[in-house]
Amino acid sequence: MGKPIKVRRGLNIPLKGDAEKQIIDVSPGKLYALKPTDFHGIRPKVVAKPDTAVKVGTSVYYDKFHPEVQFCSPVSGIVKEIVRGEKRKLLEIIIESDGKQEPETYEISDYQKSESVDIIKTLLQTGFWPMISQRPYGVIADPETKPDFVFVSTFDSAPLAPDFNFILENMQEELEGGMKVLYKITGKEINLGLNAKVENALFENLPHTIINRFEGPHPAGNVGTQINAIRPINKGEICWTVNIQNLAMIGRLFLTKQINFSRTIALTGSESAQTGYVKVLPGQSAKEILNSRLSQDNVRVISGNPLTGKQIDKDGYLSFQENQICVIPEGDYYELFGWLMPGFKKFSFSRAYFSWLMPGKKYRLDTNYHGGERAYVLTGEYEKVCPLDIYPQQLIKACMIKDIDKMEQLGIYEVIEEDMALCEFVCTSKTEVQSVLRESLDMLRKEMS
């Protein structure tokens, strides 16, 4: 066993509200929503109109750029509503479940005896293909292009992150099946990132893998950090990544030959009166999950982790492949002369408050900016929390002025939003770093297509 790769730059944000290792029973609810906004770089075309009957696995919409990439219903029932925003942008397709979970009948062959094209066809028509992502750009993988290499991270180091060892403890066979499927369609050994600080018996003996161990603060668990340390992406190269729970779900599809989108997510956050793990379906309403489990009303509900997740309403819908839902206090208040206070209850990366004298303390952080957006200046803070071999602040400056040559030189092909989330957290200028980066990634992809 080789030495683990040490991630020396980063930041662990000590938030209250980690998920207890318990399964919480939640009623399935009636309403589910497919949200095209969960995916970057697609142009959705609706197939299922209002009042159309659907089954589990029925195509609801597809990508106009790649019509073979289908997005399917996680439940059986009726398409209740199609929600559009400005310029008729498709926001949500809401499905009312009939509670029967009647599946579409697709022929799912034995992956060990099938050709890669047949396996890809099955993943496309059943709606599982969007679980495979592609870098650069952080978009759904192109089914017509083979990757140069493949990466899977088995742990998440983000604030309040779920424990995949707990979620997947009884899914060894599914993990092995998913790994074999991924190897069959790519022809590449999978670079598997393990947490060097925990027991990894569940992942160590998976087939077709190259084991790499990592230790250090967040973002050690980000697949982007692991790619940068092992095999950085050069211009013209393609890397596929798969979330470890999605990999198990793909394995389950071929082992059981049944379409089942159910997954386990963590219910976390300081404002959740009960934390733990919940079995859900993609697009499920948060209303049933949060029912009677909030410690107060003035909260922000996040589908995902506090750094990169998306804000949703209390009765909003979960994103397609997030592994947690987080509830934190809303920061809609003004604090007079707050910077004069000692701040023992405030977390500060720069040690602006005396809370740094209390190591190990966990904090009930809210969404308050504690300041406003201001001039973008070089401070050197980004470099302290970004372990990638790039110049993060110069890259964001290049993104702001849309200088494509500079963006390429400064390593934009190696990053997506989650890789720069900590930079946004510590940003002195309060710049929305992730939004700036995403706009540039989308622009660059259009220019290169």
pLDDT at 339: 60
Q: Are residues 87 and 117 in the same domain?
A: no
Q: CATH number of the domain that 284 lies in? A: 3.10.20.600
* Strand partners for 193: 153, 212
Is 405 domain-assigned?
yes
Q: What percent of the chain has pLDDT over 70?
A: 96
The pLDDT tens digits of the residues spanning 217-256 come to 999 999 999 999 999 999 899 999 999 999 999 999 999 9
pLDDT at 421: 97
pLDDT at 125: 95
Could you say which of 231, 258, 285 is where a domain stops? 258
- Please compute the mean of the pLDDT values over residues 434-446 and round it to a whole number: 96
Is 15 domain-assigned?
no
Q: Are residues 87 and 206 in the same domain?
A: no
Q: Are residues 250 and 270 in the same domain?
A: no
Q: Containing domain of residue 321, as a range?
A: 264-331
Could you say which of 331, 355, 373 is where a domain stops? 331
Could you say which of 236, 258, 280 is where a domain stops? 258
The pLDDT tens digits of the residues spanning 352-391 come to 776 666 777 898 989 988 778 888 988 899 999 999 999 9
The pLDDT tens digits of the residues spanning 91-113 come to 999 999 999 999 999 988 888 88
Q: How confident is the model at residue 57 (pLDDT cuts 50, 70, 90)?
A: very high
Domains identified in the chain, total number:
4
pLDDT at 398: 97
pLDDT at 351: 74
pLDDT of 1 over the 60 cut: no
Is 303 domain-assigned?
yes
SS (H, E, C) the chain: CCCCEECCCCCCCCECCCCCCCEECCCCCCEEEECHHHCCCCCEEECCCCCCEECECCEEEEECCCCCCEEECCCCEEEEEEEECHHHCEEEEEEEECCCCCECCCCCCCCCCCCHHHHHHHHHHHCCHHHEEEECCCEECCCCCCCCEEEEECCCCCCCCCCHHHHCCCCHHHHHHHHHHHHHHHCCCEEEEEECCCCCHHHHCCCCEEEEEEECCCCCCCHHHHHHHHCCCCCCCCEEEECHHHHHHHHHHHHHCCCCCCEEEEEECCCECCCEEEEECCCEEHHHHHCCCECCCCEEEEECCCCCCEEECCCCECCCCCCEEEEEECCCCCCCCHHHCCCCCCCCCCCCCHHHHCCCCCECCCCCCCCCCCCCCCCCHHHHHCCCCCCHHHHHHHHHCCCHHHHHHCCHHHCCHHHHHHHHHHCCCCCCHHHHHHHHHHHHHHHHC
pLDDT at 115: 92
Q: Are residues 285 and 237 in the same domain?
A: no
Q: What percent of the chain has pLDDT over 90?
A: 83
Mean pLDDT of the chain: 93
Is 39 domain-assigned?
yes
State phi, psi for 353 to the nearest 5 degrees: -115, 160
**For the ranges 6-20, 81-95, 181-195, 322-336, which has the lowest average pLDDT?**
322-336
CA distance 194 to 155: 7
CA distance 114 to 362: 51
Q: Are residues 416 and 279 in the same domain?
A: no
Q: Are residues 161 and 268 in the same domain?
A: no
The pLDDT tens digits of the residues spanning 298-344 come to 999 999 999 999 999 999 999 998 999 999 999 887 776 666 666 66
Is 363 domain-assigned?
no
State if pTM tops 0.85.
yes
Q: Are residues 254 and 270 in the same domain?
A: no
Q: How confident is the model at residue 433 (pLDDT cuts 50, 70, 90)?
A: very high
Q: Are residues 303 and 211 in the same domain?
A: no
